[in-house]
Amino acid sequence: MKTANIERDPRVAVAISSPDDPTHYVQVRGRVVDVTTKGAAEHIEQLSLKYTGKPYPWYGGRDQERVIFVIEPASFSGTR
């Protein structure tokens, strides 16, 4: 995500598909209400361990800045 674009227009849509069946998904539409870098590196490590069982690979180096966007949902949609 481009943080400059979100600063200009905080409306976002995020879609997450099932790794077992990409036709099953959930989509959230809403507005970004908070942006933080605090705890973002730890957060990506936790997600990587949870979903891959491995540490985050840090393509591009550990000095890259990670960002967490907090979304206030306006609508949900999906399959199933």
CA distance to 17, 31, 61, 63, 72, per residue, from 39 (Å): 25, 21, 17, 14, 19
pTM exceeding 0.75 = yes
Looking at residue 19, its amino acid is P
Q: Are 67 and 36 in contact (CB under 8 A)?
A: yes
Ordered domains of the chain (ranges, CATH)? 3-78 (2.30.110.10)
One pLDDT digit (tens) per residue for the chain, 80 residues: 578 899 999 999 999 999 899 999 999 999 999 999 999 999 999 999 999 999 999 887 888 889 999 999 999 999 97
The token pair at 57 is 């690979």
The token pair at 3 is 């943080």
Collapsed DSSP state (helix, strand, coil) of residue 34: strand
